[in-house]
């Protein structure tokens, strides 16, 4: 019991350090993996030791997810460098005209679509520097433009193939489970986001049109791409959803299609540059996954499982109602890289739950996917939240205060669905 308490203290100490931004999430997770293993009595050397089992094998634990990040970032860079993403946004803005509600809805839909494929702060900046000024130019207040943009990101993230691969790898479960639940979450998030946009735009708080808003980096205007090139983000998604393709070859088809459809003569040059830029853009996510893999190896270690089994068995619910209430009520603990966050402490906790057989793997992962909805764009420590707030010149915590009530609804409904389907 003392060892279990010690491991929990480690969890909470590093949670506090990450919340107060005194230590990076990457370093916190690596140190947490080391301390958890050592407290549980894992030897430092040997095949089952900290160096070999936790560090070395942990670094490649999520290898399939790293590959998905690389290929997904590659496709994202192809779309950005060929002008496909920018052209989709501009066409949407022209379609909506100067009607604020129409602009918000149409651009929100385009952003959601783009981020089923795009990922990383670079892509957020590229799209945001186009979308946010357009919204504000028709009189949408900066705080509203920022929250609508972020909520639209959350819709896309629910169907993001990179995230799907990560969740499947974390739980060592079939992608079909993640795909089914991801589609459901996409619908739930889209419906709640639509309600949010309509309510916010109906309040009548309209700002004077913004004309002085300039992007931090000037985005050069691009010519319209061929209409068929706009199918690029749909292609990998359709191959995975309807033809059961593996995510990586689906991304490759999208990469080739996007480059060839815009500039077939320069396609190899575009793809080569996009590959290098994609690796750079995906590096932060990959490094975080390396650290998460170490935490997973630590908590899956037999010594840790034995120490934590009694405690977690008493804490986690065994009934469907208990499961729903647990994940719905505690969803805010996904904020600040907390214990319900799959991109933070939750990665270790979900590993323990699965390794100990406390919940079926599908139930554990979908439960944490439900709480991920709270973190996706509600966490003020997200880099995309911070950048959006800075660009729109609004308070990042003000964004969270507006979004969290709606995101909590999404998380609660997702928890209900997860409980019904997987417990």
Q: What is the pLDDT of residue 257?
A: 96
Residues 31, 281: Cα–Cα separation, whole Å: 25
Per-residue pLDDT tens over the stretch 240-281 = 878 888 888 988 999 999 999 998 889 999 999 999 998 888
Query: DSSP assignment of 115-150, as one string?
Result: TTT--SHHHHHHHHHHHHHHHHHTTB-HHHHHHHHH
Looking up tokens 């996510």 gives 285
Range of the domain at 184: 2-422
- Whether this prediction's pTM lies above 0.85 is answered by no
More confident residue, 8 or 200: 200
Helices 175-202 and 361-378 sit at what angle, rounded to 10 degrees? 30
Bridge partners for 206 per DSSP? 140
Q: Kindly tell me if the per-residue pLDDT of 210 is higher than 60.
A: no
Contact 304, 310 (CB under 8 A): no
**For position 256, what pLDDT does the model report?**
96
Torsion of CA 296, 299, 301, 305, to 10 degrees: -150
Higher pLDDT, 405 or 127: 405
- First vs last C-alpha separation in the chain: 28
Query: Is residue 353 predicted with pLDDT exceeding 50?
Result: yes
pLDDT digits (tens, 9 = 90+) for 281-334: 888 878 888 888 888 788 778 888 778 777 777 778 879 999 999 999 999 988
Cα dist from 151 to 117, 157, 190, 192, 403, whole Å: 16, 10, 9, 9, 8
Average pLDDT of the residues in 62-86: 86
Interatomic CA distance for residues 193 and 319, integer angstroms:
30
Kindly report the average pLDDT of the chain as a whole number.
Answer: 85
Q: Please give the pLDDT value at position 213.
A: 42
Question: Could you read off the pLDDT of 91-119 as tens digits, one per residue?
Answer: 888 877 778 899 899 999 999 998 988 87
Q: What is the tens place of the pLDDT at every residue in 410-423?
A: 999 999 999 999 98
206 three-state secondary structure: strand
Please state, for a pLDDT cut of 70, what percent of the chain lies above it.
93
């Amino acid at each position: 019991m003392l060892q279990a308490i010690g491991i929990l203290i480690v969890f909470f100490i590093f949670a506090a350090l990450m919340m107060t931004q005194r230590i990076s999430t990457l370093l916190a997770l690596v140190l947490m993996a080391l301390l958890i293993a050592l407290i549980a009595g894992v030897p430092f050397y040997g095949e089952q030791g900290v160096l070999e089992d936790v560090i070395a094998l942990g670094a490649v634990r999520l290898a399939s997810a790293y590959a998905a990040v690389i290929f997904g970032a590659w496709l994202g860079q192809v779309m950005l460098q060929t002008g496909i993403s920018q052209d989709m946004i501009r066409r949407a803005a022209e379609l909506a005209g100067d009607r604020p509600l129409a602009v918000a809805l149409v651009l929100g839909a385009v952003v959601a679509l783009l981020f089923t494929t795009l990922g990383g702060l670079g892509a957020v900046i590229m799209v945001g520097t186009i979308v946010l000024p357009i919204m504000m130019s028709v009189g949408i207040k900066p705080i509203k433009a920022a929250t609508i943009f972020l909520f639209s990101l959350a819709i896309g993230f629910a169907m993001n193939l990179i995230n799907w691969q990560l969740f499947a790898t974390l739980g060592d479960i079939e992608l079909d489970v993640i795909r089914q639940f991801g589609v459901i979450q996409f619908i739930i998030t889209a419906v709640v986001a639509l309600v949010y946009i309509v309510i916010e735009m109906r309040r009548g708080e309209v700002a004077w049109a913004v004309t002085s808003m300039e992007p931090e980096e000037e985005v050069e205007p691009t010519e319209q791409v061929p209409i068929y090139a706009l199918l690029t983000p749909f292609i990998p998604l359709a191959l995975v959803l309807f033809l059961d393709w593996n995510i990586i070859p689906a991304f490759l088809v999208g990469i080739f299609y996007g480059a060839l459809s815009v500039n077939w003569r320069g396609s190899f040059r575009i793809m080569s540059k996009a590959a290098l830029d994609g690796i750079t853009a995906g590096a932060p996510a990959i490094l975080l996954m390396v650290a998460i893999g170490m935490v997973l190896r630590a908590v899956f270690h037999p010594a840790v499982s034995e120490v934590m089994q009694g405690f977690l068995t008493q804490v986690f619910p065994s009934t469907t109602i208990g499961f729903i209430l647990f994940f719905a009520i505690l969803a805010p603990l996904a904020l600040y890289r907390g214990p319900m966050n799959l991109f933070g402490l939750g990665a270790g906790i979900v590993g323990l739950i699965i390794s100990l057989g406390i919940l079926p793997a599908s139930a554990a992962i979908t439960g944490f996917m439900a709480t991920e909805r709270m973190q996706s764009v509600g966490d003020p420590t997200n880099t995309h939240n911070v950048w959006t707030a800075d660009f729109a010149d609004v308070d990042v915590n003000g964004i969270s205060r507006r979004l969290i009530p709606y995101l909590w609804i999404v998380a609660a409904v997702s928890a209900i669905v997860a409980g019904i389907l997987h417990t």
